[in-house]
Amino acid sequence: MSHTSIGIGDIALYLPDPKMDMQTLMEYRSKSHPQLVRIMNRAIEHTGQLSFRFPEPWEDTASMAANSAAEIIERLEKENRSRIRYISLGTETAVDHAKPAASYVQGMLNDAGYELGTSMTTYEVKHACAGGTAALLSAASMLSLTGKPEEKALAISSDIARYDAPSTAEITQGAGAVSLLVEKNPRLLELDLSNQGFFASDVDDFFRPLDSVTAKVKGRYSMDCYQEALEKAFADFCERKGYSSCQVIDEIDYIALHVPFTRMPETALRKLLKNSCGKDEDEIERYLNRTGFLEAMYLSETFGNLYNASLYTYLAALLQQEYKKIGNGIIGKTILIASYGSGNTMMVYSATIADKAPEVISRWDLEKWNRSSRSVEFKEYTNWLERPENLDAWKEILISARPLKNRFYLKDFGKTGLRIYSRG
C-alpha cells in the first residue's frame, strides 16, 4: 500500500483589535495599586511582553475561531470546501459545557454561504494549551484512515487568556485564534505521525474552576513543570525515533515551542540544549541564531498569551520569517514542535516543510494583525475585565455591538441561553 503523507496545508490567524500596551497598563496601575508596581515591572522585564490583545464585548472563543477559519476557507477552491470531513477545536475557554465551539463554527461558516455541508463531524478537545495540538493530531490521524484523497479537516485553536487583575499574571493575558487546514499530500508541512513523544503528570500548576472566569496559576511552579515536561517528552520522542538527543537537536532545522510569554520558551530551550545535549553557552547562542528561534517571537511579544493558539501563531511567524530569508530554500527543512498543556502534558512531534510551502506562505500577511490593532484607554480594558456574566446584562451590551464588516460576532443569547452568532 502506498504511503500518503498527512499534514498542514495552510494557516490563518485571527486577533481581536483591542490592544493593551504595557506602558499604558503600568501608568494606571501605578495610581490604582502603587504597591504592585515594582513586582509588575519586574514581571514585564522577565516575560519580555510589550502588549496583549483582548476581545471586544461581542467576541468569544467561537466567533474568533470562525473568523480564523473563514480566512482558510476563502483561500480554498469552492469545490474543496464541502470536502472538509472534520472540524476539531482545541480550547480551554469553552463557550458551553456540552456543545463544542466547533459546532458553532460549522454553523457560522455555513450560514455565511461557504457551503461546507453536513457530511462531517465536529468536536472539541481540552487540555489547557495543548488541546489544539490534540485536535490537530487526532484530525490528522482520522484523515489518514479515510479512503478519499481529497478530504480535508480544520484543526482550530481559539482562546481568551484572562487572569485576576491587578496581578503579575495580568501582563500575560491575550486572545486570538489559529486555524490549520489539514490535508493529504499537504502543501505546507508534512507531519510525522509515527513518532511522537509524550509526557503527562497530574499537577496543579494551572487550572480554572468551573465557576471562575479567570485562571489560577502558580507561576514559578508552572515554569518548572513546563521544563520537566519538555525534557521528558523530548526524551520519549528521541527513544521512539531511535536517535540520541544530540542527534535530533543537531539535525533538526527549526524548533517551535508553546509561548505563554516570550521569555518562557527561550528559557526552556536553553535548558533543554544544556541538559539533554550538554551544549555550553556559546554553542547555545549559535544554535538559537541558526534556527531563528528568538527572532520569530515578534508576533508573540505583542499579541500576548493566546493559550492554545500561541504555539501555532509562533509556528506561522517562524515559517514566514524563514521564507523571507531563504525563499525556496525552506523546502525540505525540518521542524521539531513541542506543545505544552498545564495540568499537565507535553506532546513533541516533527514536520517537514513541503514542496509547495513557498507558494502558501507567500499569500500570508501576518503583520496585518499588528497593523489592525487598536491601542485602548484603560477604561475600555477595565470594561472588559468587569463584563457581566449575567446574560440579561450581557445582552444589553451586545445591542450596541459594532462589528467590522465580514467578521463573525456574538449577536445575542436565546431565551434558554443559547449563543446566537451573525456576521457583520
Range of the domain at 198: 6-423
Q: Name the H helices within 327-399.
A: 357-361, 368-371, 378-385, 391-399
CATH of the domain at 141: 3.40.47.10
Q: Please report, to the nearest 10 degrees, the dihedral formed by the alpha carbons of residues 28, 33, 36, 42 taken in order.
A: 0
- Identify the pLDDT of residue 2: 47
1 domain-assigned? no
Band (pLDDT 50/70/90 cuts) for residue 3 is: low
Q: Determine, yes or no, domain membership for 271.
A: yes
Q: Into how many domains does the chain fold?
A: 1
pLDDT in tens, 137-164: 999 999 999 889 999 999 999 999 999 9
pLDDT digits (tens, 9 = 90+) for 90-144: 999 999 999 999 999 999 999 999 999 899 999 999 999 999 999 999 999 999 9
Residue 271 banded pLDDT, cuts 50, 70, 90:
very high
- DSSP 8-class letter at 118: S
Rounded to whole angstroms, the Cα distance separating 287 from 271 reads 13
The residues, ordered by sequence, that sit 6+ positions from 285 with a Cβ below 8 Å of its Cβ are none
What pLDDT is attached to residue 389?
84
User: Cα(23)–Cα(302) distance, rounded to whole angstroms?
Assistant: 12
- Establish whether the linkage from the previous residue to 344 is cis, with ω within 30° of 0: yes
- In 3D space, the residue among 113, 107, 125, 108 whose CA is nearest the CA of residue 81 turns out to be 113
277 occurs within a structural domain: yes
Q: Would 285 be classed as within a structural domain?
A: yes
Amino acid at 179: S
Q: Does residue 29 lie in a domain region?
A: yes
pLDDT score recorded for residue 219? 85
Residue 385 lies in a domain: yes
pLDDT category at 211 given cuts 50, 70, 90 is: confident
Q: Could you tell me the pTM of the whole model?
A: 0.96
Q: Residue 111 falls within a domain, yes or no?
A: yes
Residue type at position 421 = Y
The total of other beta-carbon atoms located within 10 Å of residue 265's CB is 27
- Domain assignment present for residue 34? The answer is yes
Q: How far apart are CA 131 and CA 125, in angstroms?
A: 5
Residues 68/108, Cβ–Cβ less than 8 Å: no
